[in-house]
């Protein structure tokens, strides 16, 4: 490296004239290579900055949210069950009760008090990380990935594609979708979890297609199937941010399972309609009084009616694992010998015991 002048003044007076001295500093030998490696040419981003509506969906089969209005206010005006809510219809419990109460209250322009919990807020914060990690892991198979978001982060579209000529009771606000290298469209749903039981459930599904080892994974699986039903697509990627590395579960559309799930959704909605009629017919005075002067009293009335309803009572004891066992797809399992066959039989028989153990822990 050249020696620099000790004169700190960049100007030198020569014969009364000011002249600028130009000082050139040589780089260390080899730095040119280092600098090039530090600044690689960036590949074209696979993640679009602009949200885009799914193609093949008519304006009558989706609802476009207004980016300038609170999302929850707009969502409450929709008359559809959310894809993420449908699992509660099948597993019963507190989730089903709150769902039915809110469904009845919606007919009377009311709803249960709602506040986002830490789990929901965490999921929203981690969603962008999930998109980046998915592109990092599967970018070679992605042409372009679209978030279902406006630039300000507000959800963009809720989809409810017709099943044949029939309207659906379910709508889905997806996380995103992408075009793969074959030109096919796939859904992407980002999930986050810190639970050990979810890790084992994910591994179990990716190993042999069993989606029953966890009640919560079962609900996620049903949500994915409902999203496929609402968008008309064939595959949904459940991408979990869990443990030290993310894991993907690729869910294939199952028409038979979707039809069966919709049977339960229709039964639930029929019960809701009957409860609404019951309130109008037998509790009109209480309804008018409570609705006009005391919402809490009216909500308690609806809660009591829901708890006594046939559908909710049957849901409490509903054996969802046994009801949906026939939809576990074992076609890809390798059965090379008698021992493998015995292991497969054992795995399938274990579903009942896993369900009993899960119920024991949760209760």
346 pLDDT above the threshold of 90: no
Q: Say if CB 99 and CB 179 are below 8 A apart.
A: no
Is position 174 within any domain? yes
Supply the pLDDT for residue 354.
58
Residue 261 pLDDT class (50, 70, 90 cuts):
very high
Percent of the chain residues topping a pLDDT of 90: 47
Q: Say if CB 149 and CB 177 are below 8 A apart.
A: no
Supply the pLDDT for residue 334.
46
258 pLDDT above the threshold of 50: yes
The CATH number given to whatever domain includes residue 107 is: 3.90.320.10
Quote the number of domains for the chain: 1
Supply the pLDDT for residue 336.
46
Residue 342 pLDDT class (50, 70, 90 cuts):
low
Percent of the chain residues topping a pLDDT of 70: 75
| 69-90 pLDDT, tens digit each | 887 788 878 899 999 999 999 9
Is position 286 within any domain? no
Supply the pLDDT for residue 42.
36
Is position 33 within any domain? no
- Calculate mean pLDDT across residues 159-185: 94
Q: Say if CB 120 and CB 71 are below 8 A apart.
A: no
Is position 193 within any domain? yes
Beta bridge partners of 81: 170
Distances (CA, A) of 39 to 24, 26, 33, 46, 295: 24, 20, 10, 20, 62
**For the ranges 170-174, 246-250, 292-296, which has the lowest average pLDDT?**
292-296
| 150-171 pLDDT, tens digit each | 877 788 999 999 988 888 999 9
Supply the pLDDT for residue 343.
53
| 78-137 pLDDT, tens digit each | 899 999 999 999 998 889 999 999 999 998 888 887 776 777 777 778 898 999 999 999
> How far apart, in whole angstroms, are the C-alpha atoms of residue 294 and residue 362?
35
Supply the pLDDT for residue 49.
81
- Calculate mean pLDDT across residues 181-190: 97
Residue 305 pLDDT class (50, 70, 90 cuts):
very high
- Mean pLDDT, the chain, whole residue set: 81
Supply the pLDDT for residue 102.
94
182 pLDDT above the threshold of 90: yes
| Apex 178 CA angle, 83 and 69, nearest 5 | 55
- Over its C-alpha atoms, the chain yields an Rg (Å, rounded) of 29
| Apex 117 CA angle, 357 and 354, nearest 5 | 10
CB-based contacts of 172, cutoff 8 Å, min separation 6: 82, 83, 158, 159, 160, 226, 227, 230, 231
Picking from 213, 164, 162, the residue whose alpha carbon sits closest to that of residue 57 is 162
Is position 40 within any domain? no
Supply the pLDDT for residue 303.
94
Supply the pLDDT for residue 333.
45
Q: Say if CB 11 and CB 18 are below 8 A apart.
A: yes
308 pLDDT above the threshold of 50: yes
| 207-257 pLDDT, tens digit each | 999 998 889 999 999 999 999 999 999 999 999 999 888 999 999 999 999
Considering 39-43, 189-193, 334-338, the range whose residues carry the highest mean pLDDT is 189-193
Supply the pLDDT for residue 20.
43
Is position 236 within any domain? yes
Whole domain around residue 166: which residue ranges?
59-262+317-332
Supply the pLDDT for residue 6.
47
pTM as predicted: 0.78
How many helices, marked H, and strands, marked E, lie in the chain? 13, 11
Residue 44 pLDDT class (50, 70, 90 cuts):
low
Residue 174 pLDDT class (50, 70, 90 cuts):
very high
């Amino acid at each position: 490296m050249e020696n620099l002048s000790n004169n700190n003044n960049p100007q030198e007076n020569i014969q009364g004239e000011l002249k600028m001295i130009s000082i050139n500093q040589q780089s260390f030998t080899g730095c040119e290579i280092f600098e090039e490696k530090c600044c690689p040419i960036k590949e074209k981003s696979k993640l679009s900055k602009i949200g885009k509506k799914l193609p093949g969906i008519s304006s009558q089969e989706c609802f476009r949210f207004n980016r300038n209005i609170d999302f929850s206010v707009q969502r409450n005006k929709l008359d559809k069950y959310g894809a993420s809510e449908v699992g509660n219809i099948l597993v019963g419990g507190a989730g089903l009760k709150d769902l039915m109460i809110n469904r009845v209250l919606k007919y009377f322009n009311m709803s249960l008090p709602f506040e986002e919990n830490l789990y929901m807020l965490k999921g929203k914060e981690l969603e962008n990380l999930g998109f980046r990690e998915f592109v990092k892991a599967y970018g070679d198979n992605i042409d372009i990935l679209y978030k279902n978001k406006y630039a300000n982060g507000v959800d963009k579209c809720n989809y409810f594609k017709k099943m044949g000529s029939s309207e659906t009771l379910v709508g889905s606000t997806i996380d995103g979708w992408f075009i793969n290298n074959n030109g096919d469209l796939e859904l992407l749903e980002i999930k986050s979890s810190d639970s050990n039981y979810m890790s084992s459930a994910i591994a179990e599904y990716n190993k042999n297609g069993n989606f029953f080892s966890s009640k919560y994974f079962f609900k996620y699986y049903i949500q994915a199937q409902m999203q496929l039903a609402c968008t008309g697509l064939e595959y949904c990627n459940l991408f979990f941010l869990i443990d030290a590395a993310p894991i993907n579960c690729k869910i294939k559309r199952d028409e038979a399972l979707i039809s069966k799930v919709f049977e339960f959704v229709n039964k639930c909605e029929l019960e809701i309609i009957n409860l609404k009629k019951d309130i109008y017919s037998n509790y009109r005075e209480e309804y008018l009084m409570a609705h006009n002067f005391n919402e809490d009293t009216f909500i308690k009335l609806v809660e009591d009616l829901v708890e006594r309803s046939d559908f909710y009572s049957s849901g409490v004891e509903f054996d969802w694992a046994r009801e949906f066992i026939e939809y576990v797809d074992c076609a890809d399992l390798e059965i090379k010998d008698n021992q493998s066959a015995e292991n497969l039989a054992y795995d399938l028989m274990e579903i009942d015991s896993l369900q009993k153990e899960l119920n024991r822990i949760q209760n």
